[in-house]
A and B are shown apart, each in its own frame.
Chain A
Amino acid sequence: DTGVSQNPRHKITKRGQNVTFRCDPISEHNRLYWYRQTLGQGPEFLTYFQNEAQLEKSRLLSDRFSAERPKGSFSTLEIQRTEQGDSAMYLCASSPQASDTGELFFGEGSRLTVL
């Protein structure tokens, strides 16, 4: 399977714990994006990388959130001291740098439930 892979698919944690999600993009894609979707909303942009450089972070991304893409391949999104409001689907997507269409290729998401 050469699509975007996300792990874990589901995570249940207690408030105050740290969680980390991993995303493996399509191998030749330079750009990697993180989005978050909460109930009744569309996906909201969190951050994106071109290779290993983090180019933009949303104001939604509080200090408790950190994303990395150390070697320009896989990425991790860590949430420290989770809160109930962090419960959401975390979506990762990738795209080629110079894409004619600009379409994003999404993973199946990581669903976080904070108790």
Chain B
Amino acid sequence: ILNVEQSPQSLHVQEGDSTNFTCSFPSSNFYALHWYRWETAKSPEALFVMTLNGDEKKKGRISATLNTKEGYSYLYIKGSQPEDSATYLCAFGNEKLTFGTGTRLTIIP
């Protein structure tokens, strides 16, 4: 059974501050690590799919890093905005993804 863990479970951040959270996953038999953003009443939306150790990806104010040898990925949000409020899910695997429980981020205006 694959175990994907995310921390923290929830986070409150002041608007304008930067933040980061963690996803840990099995370091053996790595295929890909996904990050999704899930806003309330909407569909989960892919942020990044990372496959290479040391990979860093960026989309606007959001970036992610990947360490497959030690089994972790960080998601960073710079200068948080209210629209960043969402649950951030990471997922590990190939065709069949195993998801973490998510980090619920609330931006305080």
Which residues of A are at the interface with B, using a C-beta cutoff of 8 A? 3-4, 31, 35, 40-45, 48, 55-56, 91, 93, 101-109
Majority DSSP secondary structure for residues of A touching B: loop
Question: In the bound complex, do residue B102 and residue A48 qualify as a contact, i.e. CB atoms below 8 Å apart?
Answer: no
- Interface size bucket, B side? 20 to 34
* Other-chain contact of A108, B34, B41, B100 (Cβ < 8 Å): B41
Question: In the bound complex, do residue B44 and residue A91 qualify as a contact, i.e. CB atoms below 8 Å apart?
Answer: yes
CA A104 to CA B35, docked complex, whole Å: 10
Assess A45 versus B49: contact at CB under 8 Å? Given A4-B43, A109-B43.
Answer: no
Smallest beta-carbon distance B32→chain A, Å:
5
CA A45 to CA B98, docked complex, whole Å: 7
Residues of B within 8 A of A41 (CB): 101
Smallest beta-carbon distance A109→chain B, Å:
7
> Quick one: which of A93, A104, A107, A108 has the most chain B CB within 10 A?
A104
Assess A40 versus B45: contact at CB under 8 Å? Given A45-B96, A48-B96, A56-B96.
Answer: no
